[in-house]
Amino acid sequence: MSFTEAGAALRPALVALRRELHADPEVGLELPRTQARILAALEGLNLEITLGKSTTSVVAVLHGARPGPTVLLRGDMDGLPVEELTGLEYAATNGAMHACGHDLHIAGLVGAARLLAARRQELAGNVLFMFQPGEEGHGGARHMLAEGLLETTGDKPIAAYAVHVQPGPAGVFSSRPGAMLAGANGLGITVNGLGGHASRPHAAIDPVPALMEIATALQTMATRKFDALDPIVVTVTLLKAGEVINVIPDKAALGATVRTLSKASTEKLAVETKRLAENIALAHGCTAEVEFHVAYPVTVNDPGTTAAALLTLRNQFGSDRVIQAENPVMASEDFSVVLEEVPGTYIFLACSPDGSDAQEFNHSPRVIFDDSVLGDQAAALAQLAFSHLGTVN
């Protein structure tokens, strides 16, 4: 029986697991109820399991019948602090929500473990299942790497894969070589002036006009200092200046998220934002303090691994269900830190209930994912691992 056929048979159990997870999401790095459900779902598969120390991560190793390399498969575990508005009968009611589909990722990875465990005798090597908390801005992958994830089997994995759901025609896989998702960077700028009475701006050094000019100039910088073929996105999301309307404050500050598609543009951005803010502030008689923080690096798919993965999926599901994406996505991913260490591929799986992409997007309180794809999601992950480790009896 092929992985696709076995995945279809497994689908009802995976849907039940997914809906149980969906109804009880947890946020951040500490997900004890989610961890317990994963452990229960993996019971009886004869896996070597390690629990995280700094988080509630789960690392499970399937040892094949013969020695060989290791392949890593990842599923993230955490929800978002979003109140669910889907109206589903299994909707969460605790103020959190699996609005990014991580409940499907857990169930799909559990399914892959079951499929591969059933064919253990055909495997030459190990499959490393990475159940990761804290993907949504908490750096869970870095915690797991720091605890020795990539040394679990004694050898660094030769390949790493993750499948992430998104809106679109259900059952369609997509990926691309090179930059797949943007790097996420945090930018904070504080302009220091000299406060005073709002009726006497000439007797003060007003930081507000300087900050406003900086906010506008950041957009010009994005289009004039950076290659249009290696673009960046700068979005100012926080502005803070003063408490009352008749006082010029001493300080004014902004916060922004900046998305980049290459390491070179990320490094250049740190230099250019500092130069821009300091010089505009100086022109206003102020000073500026700039904080630039790389939250997640660019998610970069290995070209060779990705070409092979797309071919494997086309052979498994047909060419009409597997496409090579033309452009990267400007969202960001914690799996990027794994792909900095291991050649691998990040793959999207579309799963809108009505088969269209005219849906609420990930992170919306109204987004709905069609969990009928779970059998194929599990089968795809299993087949990708098997393509490296499978042998003929």
* Dihedral angle, C-alpha 168, 170, 172, 174, nearest 10 °: 40
161's enclosing H/E stretch is strand 159-169
347's enclosing H/E stretch is strand 344-352
26: left (phi over 0), alpha (psi -120 to 50) or beta: beta
Q: With CA atoms as reference, report the closest residue to 64 among 108, 110, 117.
A: 117
Q: Based on C-alpha coordinates, what's the Rg of the chain? A: 24
CATH superfamily of 3-180+298-389: Zn peptidases (3.40.630.10)
Q: Is 346 helix (H, G, I), strand (E, B) or coil?
A: strand
pLDDT at 393: 47
DSSP annotation of 132 reads E
Intervals of CATH 3.40.630.10 along the chain? 3-180+298-389
Residues in the chain: 393
The Cα 295–Cα 185 span in angstroms is 5
The number of helices, as runs of H, and strands, as runs of E, in the chain is 9, 16
Q: Are 326 and 367 in contact (CB under 8 A)?
A: no
DSSP string, 242-274: -SSTTEE-SEEEEEEEEEESSHHHHHHHHHHHH
The Cα 373–Cα 43 span in angstroms is 23
Task: Classify domain 183-296 by CATH number.
Answer: 3.30.70.360
pLDDT at 354: 76
pLDDT at 289: 98
Hey, which bits of 13-144 come out as E strands? 48-51, 58-63, 66-76, 124-132
Average pLDDT by consecutive 10-residue portion of the chain (393 residues)? 95 98 98 98 97 97 96 98 96 97 98 98 97 95 97 97 95 97 96 96 96 97 94 95 96 97 95 97 98 95 98 97 95 96 98 74 94 97 96 59
Intervals of CATH 3.30.70.360 along the chain? 183-296
